[in-house]
């Protein structure tokens, strides 16, 4: 990356590029991705991952993975493992892996340094007292009565805090900065709190734990991070970040903030996603409705599509909401290129071709992927009894309906023209079968007499088809902004009940019995699907619809309100 390639760098890449050009940090670029292991990674994290690892790649630098595990009560190794897996799946590998807890000892020693410098003190105030003394935006703060303890007293107290002599909440270590600052973070922020809790890595070794601000900058510093990228809500923490590393006179990374990802119709709050899992509103963190990396993976999204999405979203400093349609575009674009075409009939309707001999079959040749010449062809059986999609037939069709109607003719994809002669219904009036005839002269898909058909529909040989369950997904929230909850409602009331629709009686091609979990397929005219990695079993196949195809017909139907 040289200076002449200036164009179109986002503001962070621009800044890093300038720093490299100016020889800052000896031209070194070292970033880190610092998740707290208290939940699974979501698509918002993917943006940060792509940024941090991308920066390292583009500038010939390094990127660490650091687990920000300073709050033992919320964290767990389950999350550590899941985070590693998700990052790898996205296609990134970290140069070094650390935990903030690796630095507990170092941080403790540094805290003692600060106490000795008279820049930190042990405070006995309760949470309520601290809040009261902090003042407000319009009110100056008041000094804690413990602010002027001697160094000796502080050293003694802090050591006893560490030794477990006090109960949770009884004391804190605070930085002595300025109780009058315009920036609330600088009004003597807490550095340590007492928590007699078992940490997922350090066990019961510690009962005092560093707060985020005290841990983060120093962790960055220890690792030689040059650019510490985080989201906008940490903007007003930067002065504190700078104050700590400044007082300690250690390597000083540059914190840079960017706007986090917001996607329409999508819940991005980790806290609320945790609630969905805990409350059983979804199957788990990897439920295909979830905006988690593991949810997208199980749903059939590819790492390429997610990386492409984060690239298109861009990096800026202002809050914006990205249309979920952009995600769909990215995954369709990728799957269109790579997914083999197969037939899956979601709502089967039996078709009997009266002029096709009983018990006879022939093989029809079909292209595997029209977007990929090298994909080759495949043979599929055709016979007297087929299944077609229920929505491909209408008794009273509107003029723009290009599919099968009574007396009308349609093309069976890669096969023949088909005409419907008669509708067979059960006692409830439901259509159970179509009696049809085919035209053997139209084998190539064209009629020798030149007559045309407007529509082409997919079909599957009834005796060859295998059963499958198919799960259709939609946005999890019907409102664009799921955090905008109407009066008297809970945000969970806004969950789209149709976010998951299960088709129990789908018919798919026998070849799909061997499909491996996650491998993408296009069910022609129905969308992109993959075998579910958890629930699918031999003999009881389960497919997830990753995304629909663009569908001009259903769009037109909705608009015109024409009959279904």
Site for RNA in 277-316 (CB under 7 A): 312-316
* Site for RNA contains 560 (CB under 7 A): no
Question: Minimum distance between the CB of residue 45 and RNA, rounded to whole angstroms?
Answer: 11
Window 501-540: residues binding RNA (CB under 7 A): 522, 524-525
Tokens 């509107």 belong to residue: 398
Question: Minimum distance between the CB of residue 257 and RNA, rounded to whole angstroms?
Answer: 8
Q: Which two tokens stand for residue 179?
A: 């109780």
Angle at 412 between CA 411 and CA 414, to 5 degrees: 110
3-state secondary structure 203-257: ECCCCEEECHHHHHHHHHHHCCCCEEEEEHHHHHHHHHHHHHHHHHCCCCCEEEE
Which of the ranges 84-92, 166-174, 197-205, 282-290 carries the binding residues for RNA, by CB under 7 A? 166-174
Among 274, 369, 479, 533, binds RNA (CB under 7 A): 369
Question: Minimum distance between the CB of residue 254 and RNA, rounded to whole angstroms?
Answer: 15
* Site for RNA contains 167 (CB under 7 A): no
Q: Is the CB of 287 or the CB of 506 nearer to RNA?
A: 506
* Site for RNA contains 137 (CB under 7 A): yes
Question: Are 111 and 162 a contacting pair, CB within 8 Å?
Answer: no
Question: Minimum distance between the CB of residue 303 and RNA, rounded to whole angstroms?
Answer: 19
Q: Is the CB of 296 or the CB of 528 nearer to RNA?
A: 528
Window 313-352: residues binding RNA (CB under 7 A): 313-323, 325-326, 328-329, 332-333, 336, 341
Q: Which two tokens stand for residue 31?
A: 């970033």
Question: Are 123 and 171 a contacting pair, CB within 8 Å?
Answer: yes
Classify residue 210 as exposed, middle or buried by CB count within 10 Å of its CB (0-12, 13-18, 19+): buried
Q: Is the CB of 14 or the CB of 355 nearer to RNA?
A: 14
Whole-Å CA distances, 404 to 344, 422, 505? 18, 12, 21
Question: Minimum distance between the CB of residue 136 and RNA, rounded to whole angstroms?
Answer: 3
At how many degrees (to 10) do helices 104-116 and 212-222 cross?
Answer: 110
Q: Is the CB of 283 or the CB of 553 nearer to RNA?
A: 553
Window 434-453: residues binding RNA (CB under 7 A): 443-446
Closest CA to 56 of 29, 93, 35, 33: 29
Distance, in Å, from the CA atom of 205 to the CA atom of 197, rounded to the nearest integer, reads 10
* Site for RNA contains 479 (CB under 7 A): no
Among 255, 414, 461, 536, binds RNA (CB under 7 A): 414
* Site for RNA contains 236 (CB under 7 A): yes
Among 127, 424, 501, 502, binds RNA (CB under 7 A): 127
What mask of x and - would describe binding to RNA in positions 12 to 51, judged by CB under 7 A?
Answer: --x-------------------x-x---------------
Distance, in Å, from the CA atom of 311 to the CA atom of 472, rounded to the nearest integer, reads 27
* Site for RNA contains 164 (CB under 7 A): no
Q: Which helix (H) or strand (E) holds 110?
A: helix 104-116
Question: Are 202 and 101 a contacting pair, CB within 8 Å?
Answer: yes
Q: Is the CB of 293 or the CB of 388 nearer to RNA?
A: 388
Question: Minimum distance between the CB of residue 534 and RNA, rounded to whole angstroms?
Answer: 27
Which of the ranges 44-52, 294-302, 409-417, 418-426 carries the binding residues for RNA, by CB under 7 A? 409-417
Q: Is the CB of 36 or the CB of 385 nearer to RNA?
A: 36
Which of the ranges 53-61, 113-121, 168-176, 380-388 carries the binding residues for RNA, by CB under 7 A? 168-176
Handedness of CA 506, 511, 514, 520 (dihedral sign): negative
Question: Are 32 and 66 a contacting pair, CB within 8 Å?
Answer: yes
Window 74-93: residues binding RNA (CB under 7 A): 74
Window 370-399: residues binding RNA (CB under 7 A): 370-371
Closest CA to 211 of 186, 187, 190: 190
Q: Which helix (H) or strand (E) holds 469?
A: strand 466-473
Q: Which two tokens stand for residue 108?
A: 């403790």
* Site for RNA contains 410 (CB under 7 A): no
* Site for RNA contains 131 (CB under 7 A): yes
Which of the ranges 113-121, 233-241, 285-293, 487-495 carries the binding residues for RNA, by CB under 7 A? 233-241
Question: Minimum distance between the CB of residue 8 and RNA, rounded to whole angstroms?
Answer: 4
Question: Minimum distance between the CB of residue 174 and RNA, rounded to whole angstroms?
Answer: 9
Question: Minimum distance between the CB of residue 167 and RNA, rounded to whole angstroms?
Answer: 10
Closest CA to 67 of 110, 91, 96: 96
* Site for RNA contains 200 (CB under 7 A): no
- Which region holds residue 535: left if phi is over 0, alpha if psi is between -120 and 50, else beta? alpha
Question: Are 155 and 177 a contacting pair, CB within 8 Å?
Answer: no
Q: What is the DSSP string of 136-155?
A: -SSS-----TTTT--HHHHH
Question: Minimum distance between the CB of residue 525 and RNA, rounded to whole angstroms?
Answer: 4
Handedness of CA 377, 381, 384, 385 (dihedral sign): negative
Which residues, at least 6 apart from 375, have a Cβ–Cβ distance to it below 8 Å?
340, 367, 368, 369
Which of the ranges 7-15, 20-28, 289-297, 511-519 carries the binding residues for RNA, by CB under 7 A? 7-15
Among 60, 118, 136, 448, binds RNA (CB under 7 A): 136
Among 152, 163, 165, 168, binds RNA (CB under 7 A): 168
Q: Is the CB of 498 or the CB of 556 nearer to RNA?
A: 556
Total number of residues that touch RNA (CB under 7 A): 100
Question: Are 169 and 193 a contacting pair, CB within 8 Å?
Answer: yes
Angle at 131 between CA 125 and CA 132, to 5 degrees: 90
What mask of x and - would describe binding to RNA in positions 170 to 199, judged by CB under 7 A?
Answer: xxx---------xxxx---xx--xxx----
Q: Reduced to 3 states, what is the DSSP secondary structure of residue 343?
A: coil
On the CB side of 541, CA atoms within 13 Å amount to 25
Question: Are 206 and 70 a contacting pair, CB within 8 Å?
Answer: no
Q: Is the CB of 11 or the CB of 502 nearer to RNA?
A: 11
Among 280, 552, 561, 564, binds RNA (CB under 7 A): 552
């Amino acid at each position: 990356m040289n200076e002449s390639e200036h164009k179109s760098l986002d503001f962070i890449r621009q800044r890093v590029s300038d720093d490299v050009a100016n020889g800052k940090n000896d031209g070194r670029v070292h970033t880190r991705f610092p998740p707290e292991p208290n939940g699974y990674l979501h698509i918002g994290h993917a943006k940060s991952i792509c940024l941090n690892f991308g920066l390292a790649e583009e500038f010939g630098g390094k990127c660490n993975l650091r687990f920000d595990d300073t709050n033992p009560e919320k964290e767990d190794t389950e999350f550590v493992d899941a985070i590693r897996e998700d990052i790898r799946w996205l296609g990134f590998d970290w140069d070094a892996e650390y935990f903030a807890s690796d630095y507990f000892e170092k941080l403790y020693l540094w805290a003692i340094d600060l106490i000795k410098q008279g820049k930190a003190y042990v405070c006995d105030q309760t949470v309520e007292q601290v809040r009261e003394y902090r003042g407000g935006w319009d009110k100056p703060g008041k000094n804690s009565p413990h602010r002027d303890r001697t160094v000796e007293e502080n050293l003694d107290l802090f050591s006893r805090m560490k030794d477990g002599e006090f109960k949770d909440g009884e004391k804190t270590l605070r930085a002595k900065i300025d109780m009058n600052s315009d920036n609330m973070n600088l009004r003597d922020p807490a550095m340590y709190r007492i928590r007699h809790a078992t940490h997922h890595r350090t066990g019961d070794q510690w009962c005092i734990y560093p707060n985020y601000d005290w841990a983060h900058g120093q962790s960055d510093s220890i690792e030689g991070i040059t650019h510490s990228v985080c989201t906008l809500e940490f903007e007003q923490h930067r002065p504190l970040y700078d104050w700590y590393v400044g007082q300690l006179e250690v390597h000083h990374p540059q914190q840079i903030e960017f706007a986090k990802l917001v996607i329409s119709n999508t819940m991005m709050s980790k806290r609320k996603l945790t609630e969905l899992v805990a409350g059983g509103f979804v199957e788990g963190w990897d439920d295909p409705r979830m905006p988690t990396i593991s949810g997208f993976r199980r749903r059939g999204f590819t790492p390429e599509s997610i990386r492409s999405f984060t690239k298109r979203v861009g990096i800026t400093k202002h809050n914006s909401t990205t249309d979920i349609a952009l995600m769909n575009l990215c995954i369709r674009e990728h799957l269109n290129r790579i997914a083999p075409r197969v037939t899956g009939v979601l709502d089967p309707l039996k078709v009997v071709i009266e002029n096709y001999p009983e018990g006879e079959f022939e093989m029809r040749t079909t292209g595997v992927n029209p977007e990929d010449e090298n994909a080759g062809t495949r043979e599929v059986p055709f016979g007297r009894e087929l299944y077609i999609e229920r929505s491909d037939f209408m008794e009273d069709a509107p003029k723009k309906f290009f599919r099968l109607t009574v007396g009308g003719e349609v093309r069976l994809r890669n096969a023949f023209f088909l005409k419907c002669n008669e509708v067979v219904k059960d006692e409830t009036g439901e259509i159970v079968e179509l009696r049809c005839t085919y035209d053997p002269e139209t084998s190539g898909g064209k009629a020798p007499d030149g007559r045309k058909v407007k529509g082409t529909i997919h079909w599957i040989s009834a005796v060859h088809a295998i059963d499958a369950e198919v799960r259709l997904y939609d946005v999890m929230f019907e409102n664009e902004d799921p955090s905008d909850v109407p009066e008297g409602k809970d945000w969970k009331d806004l969950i789209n009940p149709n976010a998951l629709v299960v088709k129990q009686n789908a018919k798919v091609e026998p070849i799909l019995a061997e499909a491996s979990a996650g491998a993408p397929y296009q069910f022609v005219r129905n969308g992109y699907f993959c075998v579910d990695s958890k629930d699918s079993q031999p003999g009881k196949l389960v497919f997830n619809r990753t995304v629909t195809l663009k569908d001009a017909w259903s769009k037109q139907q909705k608009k015109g309100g024409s009959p279904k």
